[in-house]
Amino acid sequence: MKKTILLYGTILALLVFLLKVIQYRYLIRDLSIEFYIGLVAAFFTGLGIWMGLKLTNQRKKSGLKAMTLNQPQQFDISKREFEVLQLIGQGLSNQEIADKLFVSLNTVKTHTSNLFTKLDAKRRTQAIQRAKDLGLLG
Amino acid sequence: MKKTILLYGTILALLVFLLKVIQYRYLIRDLSIEFYIGLVAAFFTGLGIWMGLKLTNQRKKSGLKAMTLNQPQQFDISKREFEVLQLIGQGLSNQEIADKLFVSLNTVKTHTSNLFTKLDAKRRTQAIQRAKDLGLLG
DNA sequence: ATTCAAATCATCCTTTCGGGTGACGAGAAA
DNA sequence: TTTCTCGTCACCCGAAAGGATGATTTGAAT
């Protein structure tokens, strides 16, 4: 980051210097101040976009780190609860989850209740949101 | 997009004009051309970063799958239904959606019913999944 | 003017969810 | 051994969600 700022400042200084040189060498100072400004504006707009992309790329990288799946244990979520959470995220009903995990509907409901408490969610749709924010789900 | 370009050009023109005015009014033209350039550079760098973020935000949501979000109209989903769909995706209950959109609970239920039919989903959690698969939600 | 889609709201009814509580066995940890 | 967590299951009850159907209004298109 410091490198970027330094590079940035250097480019700016160089550009100013370059313009100065052109200015004093060819004496076109009065002819096209607008041209200069337009040039600088266009150049730095592009540079800004580039920087913006770089910044978002870093965010994507950090997002990918989160995408490498945070461990549910870090949020007091047990393995079984996490299984249920994943199935909820896939849009399954409690009954379908129960069938898929070979347990009773009541068991699934217990797990979901605990999940909602631990994720601070009131609904399963909210739980999905929370889980994704926490990097627990893709 | 055209609006953005127009706005952009307008801002640029205004800035140039402003500098011109300052230049001829206070006769400080020779004193600080670097200052002008720096100002313009900083301003347009910020503008570029802002534009870059705007551009990447729109592509960020779709992630690895597609570059742009699909339009809900392509799936016979009306604007209002899409609004409801988005709020569902944010984990809101029907009542909360009704409050946020200033309509009755029954209206929201009608929209959700139509959504489930159009998305071939049985539950709202499933609808979220389908919508994301179709590139309708981030 | 007529047609049509969208948005709105309603009623009735069923299913699913969610909260609260209690219980019991297995295994790990103290 | 005792304690504790985890996973399992049950019951009750209220809230939320979902299905089916019909009605009204408004705005846009024909």
Using CA atoms, how far residue A132 sits from A63, A70, B69, in Å, is: 11, 10, 19
Question: Which positions on chain D have an atom < 7 Å from some protein CB?
Answer: 5-11, 16-22
Question: What pLDDT shows up at residue A58?
Answer: 46
Between CA A55 and CA A50 the distance in angstroms is 9
Which residue from B134, B133, B132 is spatially nearest to B88, judged by alpha carbons?
B132
Instruction: Using alpha carbons only, give the angle B98, B99, B105 rounded to the nearest 5 degrees.
Output: 30
Q: Residues A24, A28, A30, A34: what is their CA dihedral angle, to the nearest 10 degrees?
A: -110
Which pLDDT tens digit goes with each residue over A45-100?
676 666 655 555 544 444 444 445 566 666 789 999 999 999 999 999 999 999 99
Question: What pLDDT shows up at residue B138?
Answer: 75
pLDDT of B101 over the 50 cut: yes
Contact status, residue A124 vs residue A112, Cβ threshold 8 Å: yes
> Among A26-30, B30-34, B55-59, B79-83, which range has the highest average pLDDT?
B79-83
Between B101 and B45, residue with greater pLDDT: B101
The residues, ordered by sequence, that sit 6+ positions from A130 with a Cβ below 8 Å of its Cβ are A119, A120, A121, B91
Between B131 and A2, residue with greater pLDDT: B131
Which pLDDT tens digit goes with each residue over A23-37?
565 555 555 556 666
pTM of the model: 0.61
User: Is B27 in the A-facing interface, judged by CB distances under 8 Å?
Assistant: no
Question: What pLDDT shows up at residue A70?
Answer: 60
What is the number of alpha carbons within 13 Å of residue A82 lying toward its C-beta? 16
Question: What pLDDT shows up at residue A75?
Answer: 78
Return the nearest residue to D11, CA–C1': A106
Between CA A54 and CA A5 the distance in angstroms is 13
pLDDT of B4 over the 50 cut: no
Mean pLDDT of B57-83: 61
Structure tokens at A50: 């580039």
User: Is A105 in the B-facing interface, judged by CB distances under 8 Å?
Assistant: no
Among B31, B49, B126, which would you mutate to test the A interface (most chain A Cβ atoms within 10 Å of its Cβ)? B49
